Amino acid sequence: MDTSNQFYFQWHFLANCNLRCKHCYQNTYARSELEFDKLIKIADQIINALKKWNMFGRISLTGGEPFASQSLFPLLKYLDASDRIFSIDILTNGTLITSEFINDLKQIQKLHQIQISLDGGNASTHDSVRGKGSFDKAVDAIRLLKRSNFSVSLMFTLMQLNKHNYEDFLNFAVTENVDAVTIERVTPCGHGKIDDILTAEEIRDIYTKITRIANNLPSSLKVRRARPLWINTANENTDPDANIGGFCPVGLTALAILWDGIVLPCRRLEIPLGNILTDGLFKIWYENEILWKIRDKDNLVGKCKSCKNLAYCGGCRAIAYAVTGNYMESDVQCWI
């Protein structure tokens, strides 16, 4: 199957969560969920759009906390059966994953990876962001999943509260033999605050240090860097297999869908585009002026527009929007 023609959906199919993380981009944690037939209506729209566009879908199912939902496995099975969806990830805090889920997870043929959020390499740092006891539970889940031969990645949300701990986090990932890590900047939306974000100089120093660490990792751990700003560290990279830098697919080949059907350009770019259940995916994707504005790089303002690295970066539109109120503004954490 040629899946080079890909579209990414990040589907937050429930809001309910057992944690209340300090940087969470959610404002509400409704316990009620969409009826399953409505989830299927959304899934069918996704599959129908992929067929129409002759594309193949990569879907991340998340929440809230996906393992808190009775709909998780029926929905996974439904998506797994579509020939238009080639890869499914689950994004979770890991605290509800127990051995009883393992057999069900094994049934999902296209389950590519389970991503567990880990905001520190030790309990004190992680728990300061996510709550007491959450680190131990997440670690138990990581070990259980690795023992069961699942591909596991970790997501570290970089913020003031844990900026001192990224090296411990990387060491932890190596020790636990996880497959990949993503270190992503916090976006000041939802519970995230402007004071949580790092300065451009702090980001520069940390990204540079991470690149040097990644050059000499003793394991096959993949440090994901196909994201905005990482291209600025390319001259430090010595790993020929590393994929450094990447133009954000927002508005082009990616969408986020929330628990009530609201569609966002990206989960962190909190501008509602419409509701997939009432407006329909095609109407949102074709009509929405915000998406058309984002699609045209000429609409960028500030230093991103004339940057030499534009083709490999473009900055994070969500950070620009959350900090300046203008989603086409410069990425305020860029140091060049």
Partner 1 sequence: MLDLNDVYVLNDNFILRSIHDKFWCLDTNSGDQYRLNRVAYDILSELHPNQPISVEISNVSSKYKIAKDVFERDAIELLSSAIKSNIIRKEV
Q: Which residues bind partner 1 (CB under 8 A)?
A: 48-49, 52-53, 280-283, 286-287, 292, 295-296, 298
Closest CB to partner 1 among residues 36, 292: 292
Q: How far is the CB of 284 from partner 1 (least distance, A)?
A: 9
Q: How far apart are the first and last CA of the chain?
A: 40
For partner 1, the closer CB: 30 or 311:
311
Report the nearest approach of partner 1 to the CB of residue 283 (Å): 4
48/324 with CB nearer partner 1: 48
Q: How far is the CB of 155 from partner 1 (least distance, A)?
A: 32
SS3 of the chain: the string is CCCCCEEEEEEECCCCCCCCCCCCCCCCCCCCCCCHHHHHHHHHHHHHHHHHCCCEEEEEEECCCHHHCCCHHHHHHHHHCCCCEEEEEEEECCCCCCHHHHHHHHCCCCEEEEEEECCCCCHHHHHHHHCCCHHHHHHHHHHHHHHCCCCEEEEEEECHHHHHHHHHHHHHHHHCCCCEEEEEECCCCCCCCHHHCCCHHHHHHHHHHHHHHHHCCCCCCEEECCCCCHHHHHHHCCCCCCCCCCCCCECCCEEEECCCCEEECECCECCCCEECCCCCHHHHHHHCHHHHHHHCHHHCCHHHCCCCCHHHCCCCHHHHHHHHCCCCCCCCCCCC
Closer CB to partner 1, 2 or 298, in the complex: 298
**Minimum distance between the CB of residue 51 and partner 1, rounded to whole angstroms?**
9
In whole angstroms, how close is the CB of 297 to partner 1 at the nearest point? 9
Q: Which is nearer to partner 1, 15 or 304 (CB)?
A: 304
Least distance (Å) between residue 274 CB and partner 1: 11
The least CB distance from residue 41 to partner 1, in Å, is: 15
- Residue number, 191 or 293, with CB nearest to partner 1: 293
**Minimum CB–partner distance for residue 282 and partner 1 (Å):** 4
Nearer to partner 1, 105 or 254 (CB): 254
Distance separating alpha carbons of residues 263 and 273, to the nearest angstrom: 6
The span from the CA of 122 to the CA of 250, in Å, is 33
Structure tokens at 211: 């690149």
**Between residues 53 and 312, which has the closer beta carbon with respect to partner 1?**
53
